């Protein structure tokens, strides 16, 4: 007797498998066959653990399938992180703060995070923050004045060889953000090697609240992201930092 039930099950499994493969391809358009989760290790060092594609599928709740977007590839990954001080750096930090965390500042938590951290971010250690991230999967985790996503926060802590038991203070947040400014080409635009607009576009690849030269966020529409200021306003403010 022909097994119609078995045939239906086989067809359903094949169909679902095709859907899963299609979703995986769309998510990995920016590269990589696995994603890296960053957690605080037992020795107060931020370590990384690789997960397969299945870890990305967190359900269809608020924020979509892949809530914490992947980190942008640094434009100048080997850039020196020294010399990040003075009025110009402070002005750029202020511009980013306007776009990312205008109200809560250093204690900002991504609005889509349904389960907030147990304390305000500046009163938590970096290890505490990664514990919160680990304990609240399926929601966005961007945090602080510069809305660090988990991958970026972990990478910067490792790059500067910092202890995860440090408090997520304003000074620490500024120090971490300055690494991103350097990687976006701060030293190059300051010396005239890189144009102001190219630098601005690099910053927009790091911070979703900033527009690129299309006038939109580099991540426009992705998990609800959009630019929170116009390109004209962004350019006018950056022209005060780099007039040429």
Q: What is the dihedral of CA 167, 173, 179, 180, to 10 degrees?
A: 130
pLDDT at 190: 95
Q: Does residue 221 have a pLDDT over 80?
A: no
pLDDT at 69: 72
For residue 3, pLDDT over 90 is answered with no
Q: pLDDT at residue 64 above 60?
A: no
In which domain, by residue range, is 232 found? 16-64+77-241
157 has pLDDT over 90? yes
What's the confidence (pLDDT) of residue 39? 40
* 77/206 Cα distance (integer angstroms): 13
Q: What secondary structure, in 3-state letters, does 30-43 show?
A: HCCCCEEEEEECCC
Instruction: Please check whether residue 9 lies inside any domain of the structure.
Output: no
pTM of the model: 0.73
CA distance 73 to 77: 8
What's the maximum distance between 2 C-alpha atoms anywhere in the chain?
A: 82
Flag whether 4 is in a domain: no
pLDDT in the model for residue 70? 77
Phi and psi at residue 118, to the nearest 5°: -70, -20
Cα–Cα dist 51/58, whole Å? 13
pLDDT value, residue 133: 97
Mean pLDDT of 14-31: 34
In terms of average pLDDT, the best of 18-27, 78-87, 132-141 is 132-141
Q: What is the C-alpha separation between 22 and 11, in angstroms, rounded?
A: 17
Asked whether residue 6 is domain-assigned, the answer is no
- CA atoms of 123 and 105, how far apart (whole Å): 13
Residue 98 placed within a domain: yes
pLDDT for the residue numbered 196: 97
Predicted confidence at residue 91, as pLDDT, reads 97
Query: Is 22 part of any domain?
Result: yes
Arithmetic mean of pLDDT, 160-174: 97
* 71 lies in some domain: no
Residue-by-residue DSSP string for 184-231 = HTHHHHHHTSS-HHHHHHHHHHH-TTSB-TTSSBTTTTGGG---SS-H
Q: What is the pLDDT of residue 244?
A: 75
- Domain count for the chain: 1
Give the model's confidence band at 225: pLDDT under 50 very low, under 70 low, under 90 confident, else very high.
confident
């Amino acid at each position: 007797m022909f097994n119609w039930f078995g045939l239906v099950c086989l067809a359903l499994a094949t169909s679902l498998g095709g859907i899963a493969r299609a979703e995986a391809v769309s998510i990995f358009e920016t590269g990589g066959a696995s994603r890296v989760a960053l957690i605080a290790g037992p020795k107060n060092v931020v370590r990384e653990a690789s997960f397969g594609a299945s870890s990305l599928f967190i359900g269809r709740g608020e924020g979509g399938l892949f809530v914490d977007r992947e980190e942008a590839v640094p434009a100048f990954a080997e850039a020196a992180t020294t010399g990040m001080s003075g009025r110009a750096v402070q002005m750029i930090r202020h511009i980013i703060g306007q776009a990312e965390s205008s109200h809560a500042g250093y204690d900002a938590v991504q609005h889509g995070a349904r389960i907030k951290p147990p304390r305000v971010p500046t009163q938590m250690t970096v290890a505490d923050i990664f514990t919160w991230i680990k304990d609240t999967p399926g929601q966005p985790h961007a945090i602080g004045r510069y809305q660090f996503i988990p991958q970026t926060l972990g990478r910067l802590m490792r790059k500067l060889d910092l202890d995860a038991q440090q408090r997520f203070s304003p000074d620490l947040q500024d120090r971490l953000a300055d690494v991103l400014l350097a990687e976006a080409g701060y030293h190059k635009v300051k010396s005239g090697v890189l144009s102001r607009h190219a630098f601005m576009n690099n910053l927009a690849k790091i911070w979703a609240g900033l527009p690129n030269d299309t006038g939109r966020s580099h991540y426009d529409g992705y998990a609800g992201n959009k630019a929170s200021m116009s390109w004209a306003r962004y350019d006018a403010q950056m022209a005060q930092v780099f007039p040429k």
